[in-house]
Amino acid sequence: MTRLALVVDGVGRDYTDKKKAVTALSEVSFSVGRGEIVGLLGVNGAGKTTLLRIIATLLTATRGRVLVDGVDVAADPKEARTRLSVVFGGDRGHYPRLSALDNAMLFGSLSGMPTRSLANAARDALASVGLLDVADRSVNTFSKGMKQRLHLAVGLMARPALVMLDEPTVGLDPLETERLRAAVAKLPGEGIGVLLTSHNLQDIERLASRVVILQEGRVSHDLPLDDLVEQSGGGTTVTVLSSEPCHAATEATEASGIRVLVSEPSADESSWRTEFEVAEWTRDSLRVLAQLWPSGVIRDVRVQPVGLEQVFKHLAGAESGASG
């Protein structure tokens, strides 16, 4: 049986705003296994930040319980904190004049690690994020991406059961983003559970094995990504660049599961851009689309399979429509 790094069991959180009772979270339940990366998504106001603060022992739940590696965060927050690490995005929070090694050892010491184990633990943590070769360099010589990987190394010093990553790739260039993702992708193999939140949904799409979505303080979805995509009903996005606007969609177009999303001049106004949602992209789909330009010239066709970003927009839009 897989050991659980995190158990969120029926968690609720109420507060009062201007004498009005507000429920931020209601019956939130999910888990993260040791060796599993779970993405946590939610629009602003969904309760995601409140939940993260409860897990991190910064806020107390009104109802329910949270266990980190079997320890109740409300009953024993001090012990729970020894089993989790919270890693924020950004390049601040280090001592810039100290080396990467000294930073890791310092923060390990502050977390209560034994002095005799600090140096080896720091080197192991730096090696796991690709910074061992620059361990003796001052942090003020590091790039933003290197500083973010140092944050992760510090978080790994005590070998936690759970790592909470909040916006880990914010502000990073593509190369450093890939390096950071590669470091995170190793964590499941080391038996560490990861709860990942990011506005860059490619982080979650590339790293997470499961996605939990919060909507209005409740868990609306808790599924593997492929299952989430299938349930969302979203289709492939096809963008056609042409010399002129397409003809109006016909019954045949709609019967083929093709729906026009956008039809407008391209950014440089040299062509016309039409975006479609296609339920199932096949050779017949391309033939049906071509019939919308009987006399015009199709200059380019770009096919983008449905991904997490499209799914999340679809689900968030459906939720706002239902509540509006």
Confidence tier at 322 by pLDDT (50, 70, 90): very low
Q: For residue 151, what is the DSSP state?
A: H
- The rounded distance, in Å, linking the Cα atoms of 152 and 183 is 9
Residue 211 half-sphere exposure, CB side, CA atoms within 13 Å?
28
Percent of the chain with pLDDT over 90: 55
- At 323 the pLDDT is 42
The answer, yes or no, to whether residue 209 has pLDDT greater than 60, is: yes
**Does residue 263 have a pLDDT over 50?**
yes
pLDDT tens per residue, range 112-124: 889 999 999 999 9
The whole-chain average pLDDT of the chain stands at 88
User: Are the CB atoms for 276 and 260 separated by under 8 Å?
Assistant: yes
pLDDT band of residue 250 (cuts 50, 70, 90) is low
Q: pLDDT tens digits for 91-109?
A: 788 999 999 999 999 999 9
**Beta carbons within 8 Å of 150's beta carbon, 6+ residues apart:** 94, 100, 103, 104, 126, 129, 131, 139, 142
Domain annotation for the chain: domains and CATH numbers: 4-230 (3.40.50.300), 235-305 (3.30.70)
Sign of CA dihedral 112, 115, 119, 121: negative
Q: How far apart are CA 183 and CA 187, in angstroms?
A: 7
| Length reported for the chain | 324
pLDDT given for residue 319 in this prediction: 53
Q: What is the DSSP letter of 46?
A: S
Question: What is the band of 184 on the pLDDT scale with cuts at 50, 70, 90?
Answer: very high
Query: Can you tell me the mean pLDDT for 170-193?
Result: 92
| Each residue's pLDDT tens digit, 137-152 | 999 999 999 999 999 9
Look at residue 217 and tell me whether its pLDDT is greater than 80: yes
How far apart, in whole angstroms, are the C-alpha atoms of residue 166 and residue 194? Answer: 11
Residues 4-33: pLDDT tens digits?
Answer: 999 999 999 998 888 888 899 999 999 999
Q: What is the pLDDT of residues 41-60, one digit of tens each?
A: 988 888 999 999 999 999 99
